[in-house]
Structure 1
Amino acid sequence: MDEATEMEMEIEEPKSNKVGLKNSIQTNFGNDYVFQIVPTDDWSSMAVSLSTKAVKLYSPATGQFQGEFRGHSDTINQISFSVSSQHLLHSCSSDGTIRAWDTRTFQQVSCISAGSSQEIFSFSFGGSNDNLLAAGAKSQILFWDWRNRKQVACLEESHIEDVTQVHFVPDNRNKLLSASVDGLMCIFNTDGNINDDDDLESVINVGTSIGKVGFFGETYQKLWCLSHIESLSIWDWKDARNEANLVEARSLASDSWTLDHVDYFVDCHYSGEGESLWVIGGTNAGALGYFPVNYRGVGSIGSPEAILGGGHTGVVRSVLPMSSMKGDLPTAKAYLDGRVVRMVDYVAGCPTNLPR
């Protein structure tokens, strides 16, 4: 654990939506880059997945390097800490495996394989008895009982291309959402024996390759969907109704600020207070903006309520809002803390609370 760290401090300009770099973690990644950053529930550790097929752990508070996990032989596509134990980290990869790691020993404790010819792009734990592990693969959705690691189902008729996302609905754990490069989002009932014929409840046609989706709303009845062509759409999944379709989302975001053209979207962030939704857009030079999304009536994207600059000099692939450390977003006139975790020049932004 000889990884070098360096903390840098800058002062944020008052009464401005521009946020300066407050903290950074300088690493020895070299030319490697970061795919995703995720925290433990108590924020004692932060996992970082790398292009080197490794996952490294840091302290979000101090930047201290804690250790690393190695074992995947291809690109790591998703990482997530277990909801039942903060000492368990899961990862999936294009090597066709989902692995579990012990953060105390930095050793692999289990491995589920879909086969050497498969790729795993996404995974989710759920089911009505919380015993299911679902995975998105090459045109298939695979299910295991994670308690004994036995495969219990394979859905192969609902999608015809890579399944990029699988998510169990937060307050309805027997419902599974899948999203694919084929432009479809599907909702399945996972109670009992799972099959394509009986358990496919609805299909939403987004019309273009889907990159990332997320649930939001008071009862998680709404979906935001970011496509691989950087469009943004909002849906009510319970009745498959489109509520906003922002095909030119990048242009709308670009027109709302004075910085460079928005080149890509990283993620969306939702606050239950006022049901506010932001789309996080970035430039190839590393600047980020939190753009409010109006998804009621005619959809629109407003001027950024926070601009993060000076931290990165390349594409940002993951943004971790640290507001969940204290529950919700701050009240009126609170400013972004500006905490940015900077893994060399190109990696994962980590802003804290949005201003209200």
Structure 2
Amino acid sequence: MEEAAAMEVEEPKSKKLGLKNSIQTNFGNDYVFQIVPKDDWSSMAVSLSTKAVKLYSPETGQFQGECKGHSDTINQISFSVSSSSSSPHVLHSCSSDGTIRAWDTRTFQQVSCISAGSYQEIFSFSFGGSNDNLLAAGAKSQILFWDWRNGKQVACLEESHTEDVTQVHFVPDNRNKLLSASVDGLMCIFNTDGDINDDDHLESVINVGTSIGKVGFFGETYKKLWCLTHIESLSIWDWKDARNEANLLEARSLASDSWTLDHVDYFVDCHYPREGESLWVIGGTNAGALGYFPVNYRGEGAIGSPEAILGGGHTGVVRSVLPVSSMKGGLAQSQGIFGWTGGEDGRLCCWLSDDSTEINRSWISSALVTKPSKARKKKRHNPY
């Protein structure tokens, strides 16, 4: 086993996080794209640049199995939720191969496949609709809709965006509303009731002004919207009024000025703890350190000193962060686990949030993985 140094915290107000362990998921230039949890937190799915999805235990890091079948980059993964499926063990994935596939994570076998066509790419998907029967997907300048119960395509919106649709999300607590975001810099809100079309169902358009990478809803009524762009700017919006509340064009510099570590090179995600109006943006360095920076989006907007720092686990850009602090059940409390991270070094790192005396150790197990036949490096900011 390879020893890893315990994390040194620079800021006195920052929470001390220890590295519990890390798992080498693959070899060569392949790396982790996304980490998502099963609803009961008995598994977490990890998408890799090997075009496969691996499953691990969030509590122990034990490898559980692998889902393979996509022929191109996996762009998003998500477990089924009660509103879209009665099968919580089903995992969905979309890919640049033009398909959305469903996997039974008990057998790791594919159970269904919806195809948008061999010349299409799917970058994002979301389940929702007034009757919870819709599957929406973001593709090449199009938004596609299927009835997920029978796999029949019911609509295609192709006039609202001019470039790749990187994000689609049904709005929490407003399941008939769909938000789309694109490389063209636009976010659109659609009403998905009835026969969906561009003319009658486009309710509002928000112009961010630059290519959009990730978006998410937050706030007690989910009326607020955060938006991270491919040039690492951050903006906050009231989506119901299409009103901008903060526009942090120099977000990286603001975050960098609030700690003593290296310059913040990129943002991984935003974190909303599902209560109140608080929001954190997660920034990272090319060397693999991460900070949880509180966002003050009132007035001119500001980014405060990090309330948590994760360092000493990754050696490259971090692609995904899975916090377990707001999970159901007792894993976070009993194990003192803060969360998991995955990055371009191919590692999954588990972080402790308490002052546990457990040994901070980094370990690599080649018995849990297989070497891919071909490695392919992808640029981080390429949404596809």
**TM-score under structure 1 length normalisation:** 0.91
Structure 1's 309 and 266: CA in aligned 2 closer, same or farther, altered over 3 A?
same
2:152 match: 150
Task: Kindly provide the CA deviation profile for residues 172-212 of structure 1, in whole angstroms up to 9, marking residues without a partner as x.
Answer: 00000000000000000000000000000000000000000
Q: 1:284-330: per-residue Cα shift (whole Å, max 9, x none)?
A: 000000000001112111111111111111000000010122489x9
Report the counterpart of residue 168 of structure 2 in structure 1.
Answer: 166
Contact 2:219 2:276 in 1 (8 A): no
Whether 1:30 and 2:35 are equivalent positions in the alignment is no
Q: Which residue of 2 aligns with 1:68?
A: 66
Q: How many residues align?
A: 345
1:312 is aligned to 314
Letter in 1 for 2:209: G
Work out whether 1:187 is the aligned partner of 2:184.
no
**Structure of greater relative contact order (alpha carbons < 8 Å, 6+ residues apart):** 2
> Which amino acid counterpart does residue 193 of structure 1 have in structure 2?
D
Stretches of structure 1 that go unaligned for 5 or more consecutive residues are: none
- Counterpart of 2:16 in structure 1 is 19
Asked if 1:43 corresponds to 2:2, the answer is: no
Does the 8 Å contact 1:53/1:72 carry over to 2?
yes
- Range moving further from structure 2, 133-142 or 302-311: 302-311
Distance in 1 (alpha carbons) for counterparts of 2:22 and 2:346: 12
Deviation, structure 1 residue 342: 5.9
CA separation of 1:327 and 1:160: change in aligned 2, threshold 3 A? farther
How far does the alpha carbon of each residue in 1:84-118 deviate from its partner, in whole angstroms, 9 at most, with x for none? 32210000000000000001111100000000000
Contact persistence 2:35–2:46 (CA under 8 A): yes
Q: How does 1:137-286 map to 2 (within 5 A)?
A: 137-286=139-288
Equivalent residue of 2:176, what SS? strand
Deviation at 1:344, TM superposition (A): 8.6
SS in 2 for 1:290: strand
Partner amino acid, structure 2, of 1:239: D
What amino acid sits opposite 2:113 in the alignment? C
Q: Which residue of 2 aligns with 1:136?
A: 138
Partners of 1:249 and 1:16 in 2: CA distance: 21
Opposite residue 304 of structure 1, the aligned amino acid is P
Structure-2-length-normalised TM-score: 0.84
Q: How does 1:81-92 map to 2 (within 5 A)?
A: 81-84=79-82, 85-92=87-94
CA distances 1:42-89 after superposition (whole Å, capped 9, x unpaired): 111110000000000011111111110100000000000000322100
| Alpha carbons of structure 1 residues 213 and 231: separation in structure 2 relative to 1, 3 Å | same
Q: Which string of whole-angstrom CA distances, capped at 9 and with x for unpartnered residues, describes residues 141-169 of structure 1? A: 00000000000000000000000000000
Structure 2 portions without partners, runs of 5+: 355-384
Q: Secondary structure of the equivalent of 2:294?
A: strand
Q: Give 1:74's aligned amino acid.
A: D
Change (3 A) 1:179 1:163: same
Distance in 1 (alpha carbons) for counterparts of 2:353 and 2:244: 29
* % same residue: 82
Aligned partner of residue 133 in structure 1, secondary structure: strand
Partner secondary structure for residue 77 of structure 1: strand
